[in-house]
Structure 1
């Protein structure tokens, strides 16, 4: 009987054909998510009983699931954030977990810059009004000369800094584990969080979701920001208190926001942020390019093969 790999990340056959072919060539049966969204516990429990490996989207992987998966040996996270995976419980059950750190950095960084441009130039609203024949004018802002604050300075933030450096900006970064060598190479000044909040014209978030970063930006932080400042979140939704963000945007305590992630996903149509015209909203899609799907697909497939063959996977998180 073939070993099984469950893929809960979506669009796998269409966008990761090479990775699927690699797994099948090595004798795996690939079972795909047919729902087009994260799978629920009830849906997972019917699939995990005999799977060897998982290519995981943002479904919840915890002890309740692991108890039902006695053959599961490896989870390849199709992305970077692993707040949906209980790493300690996985270790307890002998399951190695890896992620796509440094594999999707370029796509997320490019989207970060795209969101900055969209917010500063009001591009989404101008597109809508032009299509409606209104021919409206809007005076926006350039990126050049702005003070950029990067909250988190990992691979994505570093690539973001590399791109933004071409705009002749002044870039600052905060990280609990500062990488001074990378900062020096990129012309970035490492500083404290309060300095970034108070002085930045543009703040971009690149931190994982942890108890320490949950609601890192709330009412207090938005009140500290410049009234002309914008904030971009391509990290995790809970890093921002959405109610506080809504109030800050509604009352123009800050000028705008670009949001790819939400406290609850998929975000409901009734999310108050969607009422505002000074926020650009995306559906957690910053990493979604053809190149990233191909690269992450191959990396997660290779991680499964490595574990099967007694080797350590790259980016092994729960050693």
Structure 2
């Protein structure tokens, strides 16, 4: 039986790691040159990837801590676990919405500062400053209607809010799960113009960076609450400070602390705990383990951020997987080389994503020596980045 080595970072849940099965050695003798990494928040930028590394699974949704372009160029497939912590983040956002409306944190701090035998009287005399407001009937904007945003939109509606949703890239599968009562808008400006509460759930890209900028705040009314459990850089902090000073933003709640946000009036900073529940960490670890096991044992790719999803049942004696440059006629050249080796192709699937593509090549050939010779030819070919041989178990 082929065995694989996996190196873990950040105390991955051990129950989740059981999903790898007996064919995987975790943090064993080959941890300095493993087949795969499973990580959480470990920053891999500046890391020298070992030659043997084939996959990185991020036990979470965000992959900003991984140098994606470098990994892709080296033929390393990067996975994430979308949706595994979605319920945890959803609950954090709903809690933050209620916390903003009623200002429970400030109320608690005030009560804890009272002294004397007449504390109950002081409470009755001072409680009006924390009367707050109800969220029922308020307008709630969700930017990004993926696994997290879709759940938030549905629950906000159930709490009696008027929900606006914006996501030009929402998948069909996700769209089916979003309540018909969520008002879909085609222009993000409609979120800024209409909503009392706005939460954002999109990846950090050049396009989404500083989504909340001066132009966005200028479109808003007064006393808007901004909730950010996605990425800190989605908000321009200087523009935010001005919006708070002018009364446009009543409160900013974020899971991403920077020094300039700390100890600021009307800003609540949490220590990156949105997805940190016992259940979410277990779900992420299970999903990461399943993903790595599937990829290493079959070559199939599910939930990769840098390569396309590719599934194909392995029914032939051998499978060769190829990570290659996305250039014209590459599939024809692969097929020709197999034919010249005197081997029959039982199945082939090729999918591209950006500048690279991934090929599953199933061979109707039981002579392992012939298969290894063919793989060696591919390995020495131009435009082929990484080659693997998988034997049907």
Q: Per the shorter chain, which TM-score range?
A: 0.7 to 0.9
How many matched pairs? 291
Match of 2:169 among 146, 152, 177: 177
Contact 1:147/1:201 (CA < 8 Å) preserved in 2? yes
Answer yes or no: is 1:29 the counterpart of 2:26. yes
Matches within 5 A, 1:142-221: 142-178=134-170, 181-182=175-176, 185-191=179-185, 192-221=187-216
Answer yes or no: is 1:111 the counterpart of 2:92. yes
Question: Aligned partners of 2:31, 2:245: CA distance in 1, in Å?
Answer: 45
Question: Aligned partners of 1:107, 1:17: CA distance in 2, in Å?
Answer: 20
Deviations 1:53-92, CA, capped at 9 Å, x for gaps: 1122233435x53x54111111111211122323332222
Contact 1:24/1:30 (CA < 8 Å) preserved in 2? no
Displacement after TM superposition at 1:293 (Å): 0.8
Question: Aligned partners of 1:273, 1:68: CA distance in 2, in Å?
Answer: 34
Larger RCO (CA under 8 A, 6+ residues apart): 1
Pair 154,165 (structure 1): closer, same or farther in 2 beyond 3 Å:
same
Displacement after TM superposition at 1:281 (Å): 1.4
The ranges of structure 1 where at least 4 consecutive aligned residues each deviate by more than 6 angstroms after the TM superposition are: none
Question: Aligned partners of 2:109, 2:244: CA distance in 1, in Å?
Answer: 20
Matches within 5 A, 1:19-168: 19-23=16-20, 25-30=22-27, 49-62=32-45, 64-65=46-47, 67-133=48-114, 135=123, 136-137=126-127, 138-168=130-160
Pair 55,68 (structure 1): closer, same or farther in 2 beyond 3 Å:
closer
Q: Give 5+ residue unaligned stretches, structure 1.
A: 32-46
Moved more, 80-89 or 116-125: 80-89
Alignment TM-score, normalising by the size of structure 2: 0.68
Answer yes or no: is 1:283 the counterpart of 2:271. yes
Moved more, 230-239 or 163-172: 163-172
Contact 1:178/1:190 (CA < 8 Å) preserved in 2? no
Displacement after TM superposition at 1:24 (Å): 7.1
Matches within 5 A, 1:253-292: 253-262=248-257, 267=258, 271-292=259-280
Task: Select the structure of larger CA radius of gyration.
Answer: 2
Deviations 1:146-171, CA, capped at 9 Å, x for gaps: 11111111110100011111111111
Question: Aligned partners of 2:280, 2:3: CA distance in 1, in Å?
Answer: 28
Question: Aligned partners of 1:301, 1:200: CA distance in 2, in Å?
Answer: 40
> Any idea what SS the aligned residue of 1:51 has?
coil
Deviations 1:26-47, CA, capped at 9 Å, x for gaps: 331237xxxxxxxxxxxxxxx9
Contact 1:48/1:68 (CA < 8 Å) preserved in 2? no
1:294 is aligned to 282
Contact 2:150/2:178 (CA < 8 Å) preserved in 1? no
Q: Give 5+ residue unaligned stretches, structure 2.
A: 115-121, 308-393
Pair 25,131 (structure 1): closer, same or farther in 2 beyond 3 Å:
farther
Match of 2:220 among 222, 225, 242: 225
Alignment TM-score, normalising by the size of structure 1: 0.83
Deviations 1:88-114, CA, capped at 9 Å, x for gaps: 322221211111112211111111111
Deviations 1:213-235, CA, capped at 9 Å, x for gaps: 11111122123212121110011
1:41 is aligned to none
Question: Aligned partners of 2:177, 2:297: CA distance in 1, in Å?
Answer: 38
